[in-house]
Amino acid sequence: MRRAVCPGSFDPLHHGHVEVIARATNLFDDVIVAVSTNYAKKYRFDVDTRIEMIRETVSSLQGISVVPMGEGLLAEFCRKAGANAIIKGLRNTADLEYEMPMAAMNRHLTGVETVFLPTDSRYAHLSSTLIKEVSQLGGDVSEFVPRAVIRRLNES
């Protein structure tokens, strides 16, 4: 079985994330969406809410599980999960430059490979940070995020 991990904080999940996750299911039998928490960051949504939003959004897709990544190295998480690949979406060359050293280190640590998927051009400008900022300032982000996210943004 070909298993991959698609890691991220997903705070919040947006259509660019969903598009990459969906495409990963065409390449792998099992895709684990690993929701990370960096305790140095300030999150809009707690990890349980982020997991709920992702599960609601991808429920119609086959072969996806959504779990908290917990603490520790991504490469080690992949080894324990039996994943032989990490899926990373790339919006631009800056993303590639940021991700390349991590991909090399992950391969060095456990042999896990990183598969880069260029994002659909419709989503190349999206980032969770930008979505949060626009939403907090009263802008309409409904075009960029799934309904599960809009509901939670409207509640908070």
What residues are designated binding site for substrate?
A: 9, 41, 74, 88
User: What's the maximum distance between 2 C-alpha atoms anywhere in the chain?
Assistant: 45
Q: In whole angstroms, what is the distance from residue 33 CA to residue 113 CA?
A: 16
Nearest to 9 by CA among 45, 37, 44: 37
Number of other residues whose CB lies within 10 A of the CB of residue 108: 10
Percent helix, strand, coil in the chain (nearest 5)? 45, 20, 35
Which residues are part of the catalytic machinery? 17, 41, 91, 128
2 token code pair: 């070909």
